[in-house]
Amino acid sequence: MNDYYATLGIERNASETEIKKAYRKLARELHPDVAGPAGEERFKEVAAAYEVLGNSEKRSQYDRGVDPRAHSGGQGGAQGFGFEDIFEQFFGGGGGGSPFGGGQQRGPASRTQRGGDTLVQASISLKEAVFGVERQVQVDLADVCSTCSGSCCAPGTSPQQCSQCNGQGVVQRMARSLLGNVMTTSPCPACGGYGTTIPSPCGDCSGQGRTHTRHTVKVDIPAGVETGTRIRLAGRGDAGVAGGPKGDLYVEIREKGDEVFERRGDDLHCTLEVPMTAAALGAQMAVDTFDGEQHVDIRQGTHAGTSVKLKGLGVGKLQRAGRGDLYVHLDVHTPTDLTDEQAELMRQLATLRGEELPEANLAPIGGGVFSRLRGAFKTR
């Protein structure tokens, strides 16, 4: 366990006043204007010691052999002084919301910023998702201003050095703190931390260095995409402020449904209505697919719910070789508009098969037509 008393150079029975006095003395010695960057680590140790010993409750825990900083992961609690806050007060850094963020960056910031990413949607048909397609999309994008070429200044003018910070981008001020007067650094309010001002902004881009125009962008949409897939076009998004690099353009896919085919992953499914006679006798039927006309073999005695797999006629696999399969689900059609002659022939067939008075043979759930319907996606 760290010896915080030794760090501050005091006895274990030191009073609160003695602890505070020792801390202030060491903090002034380790201030960056005195010790420079080399004093930062030592200052952290001193601040950590004061965080514990400067708080009566934490000091009591420490005296009992428990380091409250180790227990809390080294972070300052709700009571006492967090050493990170004290360290920030001494070693400075820009405030949030400025070009500097929260670090220790000093000096002017760059006006140049990367452009934002842009999202646009593209609708495609199921067939286009199967094979892939080239699509043109319309999108409003920021381009480098043609008038000022991204300089943000009106033609014939240029940025001027900030008179308040002399081009440094930061200003220093004296502030009172627990330790007395300390010097803090913050972004210059006159120039926003850039070190320069723009007296005459470009009128066409309002001093942003970019303007917006409508673009037509060609997108190669690969096979296998689906709703929600995003295609990234690197460096095709908005141009950045003050001539900064472009962001990325993302094209989000919206896949439209099809009247005949249903997509399930990389596979396609459809239903083929088969005449009762074809199911009983067997036949070969032609079907129109995305790959043109294909023939489906209907075996003799085919039941409703049987499916036939046409291998490799499904959706192209995204970023993989090959395609899924096409499943044709057979629906046996029972005629309801028989003529007298047809009905008589059916009665003769029933007689030949001994089915004039068919018996009711119940079957368990595991067999029969319901089982066949549940297994409709199984292939022969």
57 and 170 housed in the same domain: no
Model pLDDT, residue 366: 55
Residue of 78 and 325 predicted with greater confidence: 325
pLDDT tier at 46 (50, 70, 90 boundaries)? confident
For residues 358 and 247, state if they share a domain: no
The residue from 239, 256, 273 where one domain ends is: 256
Query: How does the average pLDDT of the chain come out, rounded?
Result: 83
Instruction: Examine the domain organization and report whether 142 and 252 are in the same domain.
Output: yes
Q: Which residues pair with 268 in a beta bridge?
A: 263, 326
Percentage of the residues of the chain whose pLDDT score is greater than 90: 50
Taking a C-beta distance cutoff of 8 angstroms, is the pair 190, 162 a contact?
Answer: yes
Q: What is the pLDDT of residues 368-378, one digit of tens each?
A: 544 554 555 45
DSSP output for 116-173: PPEEEEEEE-HHHHHH-EEEEEEEEEEEE-TTTTTS-BPTT---EE-TTTTTSSEEEE
pTM (global) more than 0.85: no
Structural domain contains residue 355: yes
Question: Range of 60's domain?
Answer: 4-91
- Pair (111, 82) in one structural domain: no
* Closest C-alpha to 9, from 21, 85, 36: 21
Q: Which amino acid is at 84?
A: E
Last residue of a domain, one of 57, 91, 125: 91
For residue 168, CA distances in Å to 36, 152, 277, 281 come to 20, 20, 91, 92
Would the CA dihedral through 54, 56, 60, 66 be positive or negative? negative
Q: Average pLDDT, stretch 223-237?
A: 94
- CA–CA distance, 353 with 279 (Å, rounded to integer): 17
The verdict on residue 99 lying in a domain is: no
Express each pLDDT in 106-141 by its tens digit: 568 888 999 999 999 999 999 999 999 999 999 999
Q: Indicate if 246 and 297 belong to the same structural domain.
A: no
pLDDT at 47: 85
Residues 234, 146 share a domain: yes
Helix (H, G, I), strand (E, B) or coil at 263: strand
Report the alpha-carbon distance of residue 86 to residue 88 in Å, rounded.
Answer: 5
What residues are paired with 308 via a beta bridge? 328
**Position 97 in a domain:** no
**74 and 125 both lie in a single domain:** no
Alpha-carbon separation of residue 333 from 263, 322, 356 (angstroms): 24, 34, 21
Q: Rounded distance, CA 285 to CA 289, Å?
A: 13
Q: Which residues contact 234 (CB under 8 A, 6 or more apart)?
A: 248
Q: For the segment 235-259, what is each residue's pLDDT rounded down to a tens digit? A: 999 999 999 999 999 999 999 999 9
**Domain's final residue, options 222, 256, 290:** 256
In a domain, 324, yes or no: yes
For residue 370, tell me if it sits in a domain: yes
76 and 166 both lie in a single domain: no
Q: Does residue 16 form part of some domain?
A: yes
Q: Is the pLDDT of residue 272 over 80?
A: yes
**pLDDT tens per residue across span 134-189:** 999 999 999 999 999 999 999 999 999 999 999 998 888 876 666 566 777 888 98
Q: What is the CATH number of the domain that holds 160?
A: 2.60.260.20
Q: Quick one: 344 and 236 in the same domain? A: no
Task: Give yes or no: residues 138 and 161 share one domain.
Answer: yes
Model pLDDT for residues 283-318, shown as the tens digit of each residue: 999 999 999 999 999 999 888 889 999 999 999 999
* Gap between the Cα atoms of 315 and 128, Å rounded: 9
**Position with higher pLDDT, 75 vs 27:** 27
Query: CA angle, corner 8, sides to 3 and 10, nearest 5?
Result: 90
Residue 142 falls inside a structural domain: yes
Say if 379 falls within a structural domain: no
Whether residue 303 is found in the same domain as residue 229:
no
Q: Which CATH number belongs to the domain containing residue 20 in this structure?
A: 1.10.287.110
C-alpha–C-alpha distance, residues 308 and 330, integer Å: 8
**Cβ-contact 293, 282 below 8 angstroms:** no
Q: Does 41 share its domain with 63? A: yes
Q: How many domains does the chain have?
A: 3
